[in-house]
Amino acid sequence: MARAFLVVMDSVGIGGAPDAGRYFNGELPDLGANTLAHIAQACAAGRAEQGRRGPLHLPALDGLGLGAAVALASSVPCPDLGGTLRVGRWGAATETSRGKDTPSGHWELAGLPVPWDWRYFPDQNPAFSDELVAHVCAAAGTDGILGNCHASGTAIIETYGAEHIQSGQPICYTSADSVFQIAAHEESFGLDRLLTLCEAVAPYLHQMKVGRVIARPFVGTAKDGFQRTANRRDYAIMPPAPILTNWVQDAGQRVHGIGKIGDIFSMQGIDTLKKGNDAELMHYLHDAVAEAEEGSLTFANFVEFDSLYGHRRDISGYACALEWFDGEIAKLLPELRADDLLILTADHGNDPSWPGTDHTREQVPVLMAGVGIGPLGCVGFADVAATVAAHLGVTATGPGKPVLHG
């Protein structure tokens, strides 16, 4: 019986979204943004030499068709990719959902285009209404909040960390995503109290169509500096209709989540979940290829391309992460069984060469191993879910169509 492994390379876009002109970083539209091609250009020009050297080297991904997918999506030159296809099928996917964020991309990859417009907070100070602030204060038992603005998560705890410890007020901030984030010190405020607060305010924010409430715990002192911990927790809107994970589970087959998948889908249709940093998640993915049951789906997200390098506009770091990931995929491919399907894709772009710190609206690669060699053409995000469902022999209820035939 077949197995499927759906792996999201968070933010590894390949440019060319037809509606990119309607999405912005500050006042600059995303037209021309191309995460992968611009990283490859920087590497070829010797502008990505921190921790690595020379042209971007992704032989495993390129063998699956990565360079060909970039050329399909965009005319932006992508040096050192586009070699001979050896092992995979390749295509480029376009999103119909109106966000360029993690939930929008993942929901649609799972067969459910987002049926509403997300609520975004204005980039002004204050960013939140008096009513929302009052609701958070009542849930927190405080007489105010700190922040109330768009901010980088690392920068805002440096700005307000000491005042937060002194006053006990939670640090509340947002970004260009549909998100409400609450940072608090694990010791002085308390981790359990922070998680309880986020859980309490999440339904109110979800009614506003804010996609996620995120708990951002940190530790440290003003003297020695503050550091975020690994105890982040996301409280996301539950998908309003069945998704790929539900389709598989409802057919009596197992679904294994790796990384942020549980948070993104509010654990809908997920039997087991493994979390950690990307290195740990790759270990779990290798384990899944070795051990997952026949008929199962393993759905993984590797977030550090986005969180550590894209938003921080770190081209060298992003290139290093891609080359590490490529090496791991090279090890993984021979481990696949004869009837396995591996799909590597992405949820949006985050061009580290682009002005600003927001995601970029791009097409994404769709690379498949285990189903021959050759082009898939231009597909939709929802087609990925339909293809996985068809491979596993389960009924799909979303709008996508399988891209493999026979």
Q: Which residues are annotated as a binding site for Mn(2+)?
A: 10, 306, 311, 347-348, 359
**Residue 5 Cα distances to 129, 260, 312, 316, 336, angstroms:** 42, 15, 29, 28, 10
Residue 322 inside a domain? The answer is yes
Please count the structural domains in the chain.
Answer: 2
40 has pLDDT over 60: yes
Mean pLDDT check: name the lowest of 83-87, 141-145, 308-312, 324-328.
83-87
Please report the pLDDT score of residue 84 as a whole number.
Answer: 79
- pLDDT tens by residue, 46-68: 999 999 999 999 999 999 999 99
Residue 194 pLDDT class (50, 70, 90 cuts): very high
- pLDDT tens by residue, 350-403: 999 999 989 999 999 999 999 999 999 999 999 999 999 999 999 999 999 999
d(CA 101, CA 107): 10
Please report the pLDDT score of residue 377 as a whole number.
Answer: 96
Q: Which residues are annotated as a binding site?
A: 10, 306, 311, 347-348, 359
Q: Say what angle helices 35-44 and 315-332 make with each other, to 10 degrees.
A: 100
Please report the pLDDT score of residue 230 as a whole number.
Answer: 87
196 has pLDDT over 80: yes
Name the residue range of residue 186's domain: 130-236
Same domain, 247 and 387: yes
Please report the pLDDT score of residue 26 as a whole number.
Answer: 85
The pLDDT > 90 percentage for the chain reads: 95
* Per-chain mean pLDDT for the chain: 96
d(CA 114, CA 210): 12
Domain boundary among 176, 210, 236: 236
- pLDDT tens by residue, 361-376: 999 999 999 999 999 9
Determine the average pLDDT of the residues in 135-157: 96
Residue 25 inside a domain? The answer is yes
The pLDDT > 70 percentage for the chain reads: 100
Residue 69 inside a domain? The answer is yes
The CATH number of whichever domain residue 386 belongs to comes to 3.40.720.10
Domain boundary among 205, 236, 267: 236
Same domain, 14 and 85: yes
191 has pLDDT over 90: yes
Domain boundary among 236, 255, 271: 236
Q: Helix, strand, coil proportions of the chain in percent (round to 5)?
A: 35, 20, 40
Same domain, 265 and 316: yes
CB 385 within 8 A of CB 398: yes
